[in-house]
C-alpha cells in the first residue's frame, strides 16, 4: 500500500508517472466508448473491449524503507459471445532495505507478464458458471522483480446475480497455480487460492462498492495467508471509470502489510 515513508520519493514519482500514463492511454479509447446498461467493467461475465491502467503500491513492512510499486496496463477482449481474453504487462519498482539500516536499494524494470482466458459454459438469469486458465510468464528483467517461474492457473467460479442483501452479484472462486518452467534456483510454486467478491452497484450504475476477501494456501512452503480487499469506483463519463482498491495482508507469511491500487478503466466497444 502505500504508506509514505522515508526514502519513498522515487515510489511517489513512479506513481505520478503511472497516473500520467493512465490518462494518456485511456483517453485514446474514450471517444469510442458507448453508453450501455453497465459500463462499470465490474461484472465478470459482461465481456467487453476494455483497457485498464492502474498503479498498486505495497508496504512490505520488513523494514522502514521496503516498498513495492507495480504499474500495470491491461487489455480485455471478447472471443465470440462466451469467452474473454486478457493480457497484462507490468513495470515494477522495488525499494529494498535488507539490513534494516535505513539505506535503500532501488531496483526497477519489467515484471512478470500474464494472460488469461475465461469461458462461460452455463448462464441463466440467476447464475453463471465460469472456467478459465491463467498463465504467468517469467519475463522479469531482475530476479527481485518476479517469481522466476512460468506458471499455469486453472480456475473456476460461480456468479450469482441479485444475492440476499441487495447486492448486484456475488462470485466465489477457486484457482490452483503451479509452475511449469523457470529458474532451477527459485522456489517451486504450488498454491490454492480461494476468494469471493460481493459487488453492490447503485441503481443508476454510476458507482459501486466491492468487498473481496481472499485466502491462499502455499503447498510448497506449507504456509497460508489472507488478503482483505475493498473497492470503491465511479463512472466519470461515457465508458471511462476510476476506482481505488485498498488491501490488508493477514498472517505471518503475508506478501505485504498494506496496499492501495488506483486505476482507470475505459470500455470502448
Annotate 94-126 with DSSP letters as a single string: EEE-TTSSS--EEEEEE--EEEEEEEEEEE-SS
Element (H, E) at 46: none
Q: Buried b vs exposed e over 214-246: b needs ≥16 C-beta within 10 Å?
A: bebebeeeeebbebebebebebeebbbbbbebb
DSSP code, position 245: E
Would you identify the CATH topology of the domain 9-267? Porin (2.40.160)
Nearest Cα residue to 226 out of 209, 247, 250: 250
Please tell me whether the overall predicted TM-score, pTM, comes out greater than 0.85 for this model: no
CA distance 78 to 47: 5
Q: Are 139 and 111 in contact (CB under 8 A)?
A: yes
pLDDT digits (tens, 9 = 90+) for 7-20: 444 444 544 554 45
Cell of 20: 500520467
Q: What is the DSSP letter of 187?
A: P
Q: Kindly list the domain boundaries of the chain, sorted by start residue.
A: 9-267
CA distance 8 to 64: 10
Give me the average pLDDT of each 10-residue run along the chain (269 residues): 39 49 45 54 90 94 77 96 96 80 81 97 95 97 94 97 80 98 95 95 88 97 96 91 96 94 92
- pLDDT tens digits, one per residue of 126-160: 999 999 999 999 999 999 999 999 999 999 999 99
HSE-CB of 196 using CA atoms within 13 angstroms: 6
Amino acid at each position: 500500500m502505500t504508506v509514505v515513508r522515508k526514502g519513498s520519493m522515487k515510489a511517489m514519482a513512479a506513481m505520478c508517472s503511472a497516473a500520467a500514463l493512465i490518462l494518456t492511454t485511456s483517453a485514446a479509447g474514450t471517444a469510442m466508448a458507448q453508453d450501455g446498461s453497465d459500463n462499470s467493467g465490474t461484472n465478470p461475465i459482461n465481456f467487453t473491449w476494455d483497457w485498464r491502467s492502474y498503479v498498486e503500491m505495497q508496504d512490505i513492512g520488513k523494514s522502514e524503507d521496503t516498498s513495492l510499486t507495480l504499474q500495470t496496463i491491461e487489455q480485455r477482449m471478447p472471443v465470440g459471445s462466451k469467452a474473454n481474453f486478457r493480457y497484462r504487462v507490468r513495470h515494477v519498482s522495488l525499494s529494498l532495505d535488507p539490513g534494516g539500516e535505513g539505506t535503500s536499494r532501488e531496483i526497477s524494470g519489467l515484471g512478470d507478464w500474464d494472460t488469461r482466458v475465461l469461458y462461460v459454459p452455463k448462464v441463466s438469469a440467476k447464475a453463471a458458471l465460469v472456467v478459465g486458465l491463467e498463465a504467468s510468464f517469467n519475463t522479469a528483467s531482475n530476479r527481485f522483480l518476479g517469481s522466476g517461474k512460468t506458471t499455469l492457473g486453472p480456475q473456476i467460479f460461480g456468479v450469482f446475480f441479485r444475492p440476499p442483501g441487495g447486492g448486484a452479484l456475488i462470485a466465489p472462486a477457486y484457482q490452483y497455480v503451479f509452475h511449469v518452467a523457470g529458474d532451477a534456483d527459485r522456489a517451486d510454486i504450488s498454491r490454492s487460492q480461494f476468494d469471493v467478491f460481493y459487488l453492490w452497484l447503485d441503481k443508476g450504475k454510476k458507482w459501486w462498492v466491492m468487498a473481496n476477501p481472499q485466502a491462499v494456501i502455499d503447498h510448497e512452503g506449507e504456509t497460508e495467508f489472507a488478503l482483505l480487499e475493498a473497492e470503491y469506483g465511479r463512472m466519470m463519463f461515457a465508458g471511462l471509470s476510476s476506482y481505488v482498491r485498498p488491501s490488508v495482508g493477514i498472517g505471518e507469511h503475508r506478501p505485504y502489510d498494506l496496499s492501495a491500487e488506483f486505476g482507470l478503466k475505459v470500455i470502448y466497444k
